[in-house]
Copies of this chain bind each other. A is one copy, B any other.
Amino acid sequence: MDKKATTIQDVARVAGVSTATVSRAISNPDIVSEATREAVFAAIRTTGYHINLMARNLRRKRTGAIVVLVPNLGNPFFSRILSGIEQTAAAEGLSVLIVDTKHPNADQTQLVSYLHNTRADGLIALDGSLPRALLGDGQASGAMPPIVFACEWIAHCSFPNVAIDNEAGAALAVRHLYELGHRDIGHVMGPPGNVLTETRLAGTRDALRSLGLDIRDEWFIDGDFSLQSGADAAQQWLAMKERPTALFCASDQMACGFISEISQEGLSVPGDVSIVGFDDIDIARRFIPPLTTIHQPRNAIGNAAARLLIEQISGDRTEAASAVHQVLGVELVVRKSTAPLGNK
């Protein structure tokens, strides 16, 4: 009943030209005559032809797709980054493949298959915890497509990346609290080993030091960016004999978890403690109280990462463009979760 898929042959026959001409009319219209072009397009319409991408890509030695490695797709922080990537990629005719690097049965073997150029023309990693060995091997063998890191990156590895200035963001947060009169400032950290954790921590310590404030180890609370870890941090804070009067949380999710937890204990923000978050996720401005936070241009990060990757793909790979580290600005958004010290 249904005939087989229409091919370029069918179009060629209907249009009365060769397959070469059809191919040219499609991918390089300028070099065929006007009349032929019309005839080909008419034939395409009557036959309902759709190009077979696998055939094209096999011949052209590209895949037409880029892969995005996401650590935990369930985290809403990434959704707008993905959105930015997808926008830019789609405009270039590239498909976006997403892979969750942390899902239960993602093993090394499976991951490594994505790091190969028959799978994708390029790769954006949002996960700085990829085993370095994985990357080193492939890169050397020349079979690995260009890689761009975004948000996170691997320390002491020179892959191009797009990120924000985490130290500066942390400093903004700390200075804001200082200007409100806070002198006892703590920090809820991200997961150990993560570059964001480390840079935000470094920025926090530097800012505290340059303001001449104490750095008290017990006021640096472990977390992992999640809501739950923010709530856990709240419990630790509650248990302290001497509590900091203000906390800078390394993610908005932790800030929300923290506020939620202490509010269930009858305390409130900013009355009992001032809180600054990080990321400016959508809910931040609608939380109660609305969160004072460090804004990350998430869509722009996605756009920039995709653009950078596309340059790497099309450009000359030998040039030392691998040294590109694009840093986007952050800004402090003051809302209602911070207040002058003593202003209950």
Contact = CB atoms under 8 A, between A and B. Distances in A.
Interface of A: 1-2, 5, 48, 50-55, 57-58, 63, 65, 72-76, 78-80, 82-83, 86-87, 90-91, 95-100, 103-106, 110, 113, 116-119, 141-143, 227, 231, 256-257, 259-260, 263, 282-283, 286-288, 290, 299
Contact of A74 (B80, B106, B141): B80
Nearest to A263: B288
B73 A76 contact: no
Given A79-B74, A103-B87, A288 B286 contact: no
A276 B290 CA distance: 21
Assembly stoichiometry (copies)? 2
B74 A86 contact: no
15 contacts: A1-B142, A2-B141, A2-B142, A48-B141, A48-B143, A53-B118, A55-B58, A72-B83, A73-B86, A76-B79, A83-B100, A83-B103, A87-B105, A95-B97, A260-B286
Minimum-distance CB pairs A-B, first 9: A76-B76, A2-B142, A73-B83, A260-B286, A54-B58, A52-B118, A288-B288, A50-B116, A74-B83
Nearest to A112: B50
B118 A98 contact: no
A324 B110 CA distance: 32
A98 B98 contact: yes
A54 B63 contact: yes
A97 B100 contact: no
Contact of A5 (B76, B90, B143, B260): B143
Given A288-B263, A290-B260, A90 B118 contact: no
Contacts of A283: 227, 256, 283
A86 B65 contact: no
A89 to B, nearest CB: 10
Nearest to A86: B100
A316 B173 CA distance: 59
Of A76, A227, A257, most B-chain CB atoms within 10 Å: A76
A317 B231 CA distance: 50
Contacts of A103: 83, 86-87, 90
B58 A97 contact: no
Contacts of A65: 97
A231 B83 CA distance: 24
Given A79-B78, A87-B100, A103-B86, A54 B57 contact: yes
A241 to B, nearest CB: 27
B87 A79 contact: no
A104 B299 CA distance: 13
B227 A286 contact: yes
